[in-house]
Amino acid sequence: MPAVTVENPLTLPRVTAPADAVARPVLAVTTAPSGFEGEGFPVRRAFAGINYRHLDPFIMMDQMGEVEYAPGEPKGTPWHPHRGFETVTYIIDGIFDHQDSNGGGGTITNGDTQWMTAGSGLLHIEAPPESLVMSGGLFHGLQLWVNLPAKDKMMAPRYQDIRGGNVQLLTTPDGGALLRVIAGELDGHQGPGITHTPITMIHATLAPGAEITLPWREDFNGLAYVLAGRGSVGTDRRPIHLGQTAVFGAGSSLTVRADEKQDSHTPDLEVVLLGGQPIREPMAHYGPFVMNTKDELMQAFEDFQKGRLGTIPAVHGMSEGGPQG
Task: Please list the alpha-helical segments (H only) found in 182-222.
Answer: none
- State how many domains the chain has: 1
Residue 11 has φ and ψ, to the nearest 5°, of -80, -5
54 is an annotated ligand-binding site residue: no
Q: What pLDDT sits at residue 7?
A: 87
Q: What angle do CA 152, 153, 155 make, to 5 degrees?
A: 65
Identify the pLDDT of residue 42.
Answer: 85
The pLDDT, as a whole number, for residue 99 is 82
Domain contains 159: yes
How far is 52 from 205, CA to CA, in rounded Å? 27
- Kindly state whether residue 324 falls inside one of the protein's structural domains: no
Output the DSSP codes for 124-187: EEEE--HHHHHH-EEEEEEEEEEE--GGGTTSPPEEEEE-GGGSEEEE-TTS-EEEEEEESEET
Taking 50 as the pLDDT cut, the residues of the chain under it are 316-324
Q: Check if the beta carbon of residue 141 is closer than 8 Å to that of residue 94.
A: yes
Given a contact cutoff of 8 angstroms between Cβ atoms, the answer to whether 138 and 76 are in contact is no
pLDDT, position 324: 43
- Is the pTM higher than 0.75? The answer reads yes
Collapsed DSSP state (helix, strand, coil) of residue 61: strand
Is 80 labeled as ligand-binding? yes
pLDDT at 322: 39
Q: Can you give the CATH number for the domain in which 252 is found?
A: 2.60.120.10
In a domain, 298, yes or no: yes
For 96, 102, 109, 303, 322, the CA distances from 105, given in Å and listed in that order, are 11, 9, 13, 22, 13
Distance CA 53, CA 28 (A): 13
State the Cα angle at 62 between 251 and 126, rounded to 5°.
135
**Residue 266 placed within a domain:** yes
Q: Range of 161's domain?
A: 9-306
Q: Cα separation of 167 and 179, whole Å? A: 10
Question: Any binding-site annotation on 39?
Answer: no
What confidence score (pLDDT) does residue 323 get? 39
Confirm whether 2 is domain-assigned. Answer: no
82 among annotated binding-site residues? yes
Residues 6+ apart with CB under 8 A from 304: 81, 83, 121
For residue 152, the one-letter residue type is: D
Q: Is residue 265 part of a domain?
A: yes
Element (H, E) at 211: strand 211-215
Q: Is residue 319 part of a domain?
A: no
- Is 227 within the bounds of a domain? yes
Question: Could you give the CA distance from residue 246 to residue 304 in angstroms, rounded to a whole number?
Answer: 36
